[in-house]
Amino acid sequence: MATESSLVCGEDCGGITWDYEIQQLTFGGGLWGALFGVGLALSVTAATSNVDSWRSGLELTCLRLNSSRFFLGLDFVLAVIQSIHFCVRTYTQTLTFIGFILEAIAAIYYLGFMLPFWGFAHCEGILSGFWWMFFDIAIPNSILIGAVVSLPVAEFEGKKTWFAPSWLAAIHLLRSWRKLLRANKVNVEMFRNQLIDSVVSTAFAVYLMAMMMLTFENLGEPEFMKSVSQEKWNTISSLYFILTSVATVGFGDLVPLTSLGRICTVFAIYMGLAWLATVAYRSLQILAVNQTGGGFFEPILHSKYIVVIGNPTGLMLRNFLAEIFHPDHAEDADDLHVSVILPHGHPGQDLVNEWLRQPENLRMLPRIHIFQGTALSDQDLPVGSAPGSAGLWRFLGCRRSARTDELSALPGLGVVVDFALSRADTGAPLEWKEVSSPLSFTSGAGEVPDVLDEAVAGMALGESKRLLAYGEPSNEADEVWEISGQKLPPCDVPLSLDVTLLEVEVKQDPRGVAVKTLKPGDGRTFAEAGDRVTVHYIGRLAANGKQFDSTHDRAFPFEFHVGVGKVIPGFDMGMMRLSEGEKALLTIPSALAYGPRGSGKIPPGADLIFEVHLVKVVRY
């Protein structure tokens, strides 16, 4: 029976030389050759016989191994032990019996873990087997396992060596790390997780290249390359000099002297540059995805959050968020975050993001997270971390159709509303001087402050809502309307406006928008309030036909959200009477255009004619 001292060199070890390495490579090559030969026979058998049961069993085993936290974790831990043990041995240049046992356990585990993948690859066919043997884990594993097996028997001048290329375990670190992330369902699309993954993977890759360099430089030139390196300047050294001139190579007089070391240096530099470029690109991609409503919400430690799903209008969502973070609820909302999942292409995302970037709303910006998806999808719902939320708000039936029997406050129609105004910071009621409730006005015509026009836009008959708003900062008089004879409220005071739509006067303006169809559309897809439409148009003055604007001059169409006051009321009304693809002439009276004030090339009181083409309608 072999004693402990006969298995390893202990403290009396040989160094790193090609005399030992050739013996280790012989063992490793023998293992690789055996795997290759038996694998080729297995591939031939699979091509000529029915081995479906073997293939299915091996495939299932591979899937289980790739998703098993235990086996992947064990692979990772053994690779960490081997990597650290190799670093220690480079300083002590010794190999204890315990150290050898650790190396042997890792080598046996790697072989057992590899065999199902080897078998499945060869059952898939000869080409699949060839690819796996040359480009997967077979070569580094064979070198590592062969080297460990040779440690008790490989001798030179009566001494065994402490060296085995255990740094190859870093390849296992990289592979098992990625698989562990998947097995634990770690979302690397989150920027923080992506950053951690990049740092850890980079550390493993740097270790791998550094230890490879250490090995080659300590081994020196192999016999067959010594003749190549006799001259200071040769093919390899010249290529090394030119290629590494793009970077600072060397530390003092510590530079690679061997051909293999120089090749390793070139490989490390350019692979490192490619690696950093890939990491930077992936990180920028994740940032871009998150900024456009993609990505995932990551719950904040020691905070609570609620999730909003459904199909709210942009205005409704804005009002809801303003109420949630109202100063009256400051204590309750101190550690609150809101995760919102909106349907893909929903215009509410742009509306709310624009609102959040206003100076008075910046306090809410870090705590509101808007994503795109649908609560009906098992893949999308976890985007907002709904399963762990403190509350789930669902907005159903929030969309109001412009083409139903139910009347709604479309731009240009007369409306009658009941309203109540109060200061949102104190709750004190406010009265508008010489203005009483109910109030009649034309929706979207600019007859009332924007805060009220926006609140009423798209409301259904009998619907009620609350809107929180501020006075306009650009108003030099520091007022919205004159209230009870006082110049109130100043621009930084919040208002709470409760509105109920009592009546919709369909024939309020006898001179409505006249629509003359030039080319029919599909007859099915009509724009509704909140939809995003793409339009080409030519605008002319009705009085003399003079053109004042055209999208054709700009070579790209005009996109906007219809029915929410983004354009003049008459244009909104006309667009919602057209179907997708339709071309028409819209005649818009001054009252539904720019009125007595005019605008730019449009004189006061001018009627307008638009030649329009409704290119596309995108539902919100």
Q: What is the CATH number of the domain that holds 424?
A: 3.10.50.40
Selected residue with higher pLDDT from 286 and 71 = 71
* Residue 229 resides in a domain: no
For helices 259-291 and 191-219, the axis angle rounded to 10 degrees is 180
Q: Which residues contact residue 428 at a Cβ distance below 8 angstroms, ignoring those fewer than 6 apart?
A: 422
**Whether residue 547 sits in one domain with residue 595:** yes
HEC per residue, 317-366: HHHHHHHHCCHHHCCCCCCEEEEEEECCCCCHHHHHHHHHCCHHHCCCHH
pLDDT score of 380 more than 60: no
* Residue 288 resides in a domain: no
pLDDT score of 476 more than 50: no
Q: What pLDDT band is residue 195 in, cutting at 50, 70 and 90?
A: confident
**Whether residue 83 sits in one domain with residue 61:** yes
* Residue 314 resides in a domain: yes
**Whether residue 355 sits in one domain with residue 453:** no
**Whether residue 29 sits in one domain with residue 84:** yes
The model's pLDDT over 21-39, given as tens digits with 9 standing for 90+, comes to 999 999 999 999 999 999 9
Of 149, 165, 186, the residue that ends a domain is 186
Selected residue with higher pLDDT from 142 and 56 = 142
The model's pLDDT over 534-589, given as tens digits with 9 standing for 90+, comes to 999 999 998 888 889 898 887 788 988 887 778 888 898 888 888 899 998 888 98
**Whether residue 533 sits in one domain with residue 482:** no
- Domains held by the chain: number: 4
**Whether residue 143 sits in one domain with residue 26:** yes
**Whether residue 421 sits in one domain with residue 482:** yes
The model's pLDDT over 279-290, given as tens digits with 9 standing for 90+, comes to 666 666 555 545
**Whether residue 151 sits in one domain with residue 114:** yes
pLDDT score of 77 more than 50: yes
* Residue 226 resides in a domain: no
pTM of the predicted structure, to 2 decimals: 0.48
Distance of CA 137 to the CA centre of its chain: 31
**Whether residue 169 sits in one domain with residue 26:** yes
Cβ contact 204:170 at 8 Å: yes
The model's pLDDT over 600-609, given as tens digits with 9 standing for 90+, comes to 889 998 989 9
* Residue 420 resides in a domain: yes
* Residue 465 resides in a domain: yes
**What mean pLDDT is predicted for residues 193-220?**
84
Which structural domain, as residue segments, surrounds residue 384? 304-395
**Whether residue 29 sits in one domain with residue 165:** yes
* Residue 565 resides in a domain: yes
The model's pLDDT over 353-370, given as tens digits with 9 standing for 90+, comes to 777 777 777 777 777 777
Selected residue with higher pLDDT from 109 and 305 = 109
The pLDDT assigned to 342 comes to 73
**Whether residue 165 sits in one domain with residue 67:** yes
Cβ contact 588:574 at 8 Å: yes
Q: Which residues contact residue 560 at a Cβ distance below 8 angstroms, ignoring those fewer than 6 apart?
A: 532, 533, 535, 566, 567
**Whether residue 501 sits in one domain with residue 440:** yes
Nearest CA among 270, 253, 165 for reference residue 215: 165
pLDDT score of 130 more than 50: yes
Q: State the average pLDDT for the chain.
A: 75
* Residue 214 resides in a domain: no
The model's pLDDT over 111-124, given as tens digits with 9 standing for 90+, comes to 999 999 999 999 88
